[in-house]
Amino acid sequence: MKGIHDRPDPTAETIAFQCQAPQAAKVCLIGDFNNWNAITHPMRRQADGSWRLQVPIAQGRHYYQFLVDGEPVLDPHAMYLTLEEPHKKVSFIAVG
């Protein structure tokens, strides 16, 4: 039986993320929408060496980064770059 937390968010929008990291062995998407969890959203390598992932994200403002072989990397295609906390730059996206 599914609980209320298992239901998809009807206000979520599917966002396509792409990371250029052709030499990487592993790339993950981390952000406030998954509690910065490196396991939740692994990205898939594409034939051109980029990594892609489509994720449903709730409406609102969200901070995120790519985790490339364990190292945080900013998204050069992000709407904005901002500080999540002093001295920590993150990528920013507004959904909705």
Domains by residue range for the chain, with CATH: 4-95 (2.60.40.10)
Kindly report the average pLDDT of the chain as a whole number: 88
pLDDT at 84 > cutoff 80: no
Q: CB within 8 A of 13, min separation 6: which ones?
A: 56, 57, 59, 95, 96
Single-letter amino acid code for the residue at 19: C
Q: How many residues does the chain have?
A: 96
Distance CA 49, CA 62 (A): 26
In tens, the pLDDT along 21-64 reads: 999 999 999 999 999 999 999 999 999 999 999 999 999 999 99
Q: Tell me what percent of the residues of the chain surpass a pLDDT of 70.
A: 84
* Rounded alpha-carbon distances, angstroms, from residue 55 to 39, 83, 85, 86, 87: 14, 23, 24, 28, 27
What is the DSSP secondary structure assignment for residue 8, as one 8-state letter? P
pLDDT band at 81 (very low <50, low <70, confident <90, very high): confident
Return the pLDDT at 50: 97
CB atoms within 10 A of CB 31: 23
Distance CA 15, CA 92 (A): 13
For the entire predicted model, the pTM comes to 0.83
